[in-house]
Amino acid sequence: MSALFAPIELRGLSLKNRIIVSPMCQYSAEDGVANDWHFTHINSLALSGASMFCIEATHVEAIGRITPGCLGLYDDACEAALVPILASVRKRSTAAVAMQIAHAGRKASSARPWDGGQLIPADKGGWRPVAPSAVPHKEEEAAPIALDAAGLKRIRDAFVDCTKRAARLGIDAIELHGAHGYLMHQFLSPISNQRTDEYGGSLQNRMRYPLEIFDAVRAAFPHDKPVGIRVSSTDWIEGGWDLVQTIEFCKALKARGVDWIDASSGGVSPKQKIPLGPGYQVQFAEAIRREVGVTTVAVGLITEAKHAEEIVASGKADMVALARGMLYDPRWGWHAAAELGGTVDAPPQYWRSQPSTQKALFGQTTFGAR
């Protein structure tokens, strides 16, 4: 049996295989509200053959969006827009639907990537970002506003409100975004966190606010549904956040009942130097799994079915998540199943699409027609 197509349990959620569609920002919302682009995108990738689809970084307050086009779940309009999208997914797909909830911190108010991705000043239609410290992401940028006690409470409460809205929508799992230089990662990294209060300085202090957010989200989401987190395992900068600190953070999360760790890296500084290559981050998932004993997800330039199979079969990670590979091949899971001898769920309208050599791909052997 293919290890990639073996079932797995995440708390009360049963998944038929170990493939996840990674959350991928689409930069196409309007005031945080999903639209027809999201309907098409989400419904398409919910039929990829992956057992779980994760909705893109969904922001807990308007000023926490990465770009003006980023998705939000901070008011009734944002919530209402997702209702018909999710209803369509549930009608046609058996994939679980997760949501990544996030706050961009000092990386908010940025232009869309295809518009340059730079900080948008307030007088050009942007807004003043907030952060652990008044330290800009790039030296030439204006400094963000350092969060005070009231700001910390506001954002923590916003994560709770977003989680409750996700629960009302019937979301199956939550992934907190604690990676890629966004707010939770900004608190963890000594590069971006230069506070001198109980939220800065020592590792325990820098971990405090992200752990408070995790505890609040875990308490607000149904107990039988899983909550995971994406972490940046290293900043790829000397003196920054690193794997040793990540492992300590993950141990604290495990004690609080985290259901998976999605092991990514980087994003807190433009000075990072990342050695890109197929599976370049798998080492982090493997180390966290070994040292912490928690379910891990491997991400990062995993594009080939045999590579994904090897990662899971060898115990380097429990699951794999694909992003760009899924955009390029929206039926990646089908093709992986055909190659590895697995089966996937698909709507009956597509059953006759399988090659004659793969009659068991959808678990069907016959298809009658007049």
Concatenating the DSSP letter of every residue in 145-173 gives EEP-HHHHHHHHHHHHHHHHHHHHTT-SE
The Cα–Cα gap between 205 and 182 comes to 18
How far apart are alpha carbons 197 and 284 in whole angstroms?
A: 30
Q: Which H or E element spans position 221? A: none
Tokens 């980087």, residue? 266
Burial of 9 (0-12, 13-18, 19+ CB in 10 A): exposed
**How many Cβ atoms are within 10 Å of 294's Cβ, its own excluded?**
17
Q: Closest Cα partner for 119 from 141, 102, 135, 145?
A: 141
Which amino acids are annotated catalytic? 182
Q: Where are the alpha helices (DSSP H) in the chain?
A: 36-45, 76-92, 149-168, 183-188, 203-220, 243-255, 282-292, 305-313, 324-328, 332-340
Q: Are 199 and 132 in contact (CB under 8 A)?
A: yes
Please state, in angstroms and rounded to a whole number, the distance separating the CA atoms of residues 92 and 82.
16
At 77 the three-state DSSP class reads: helix
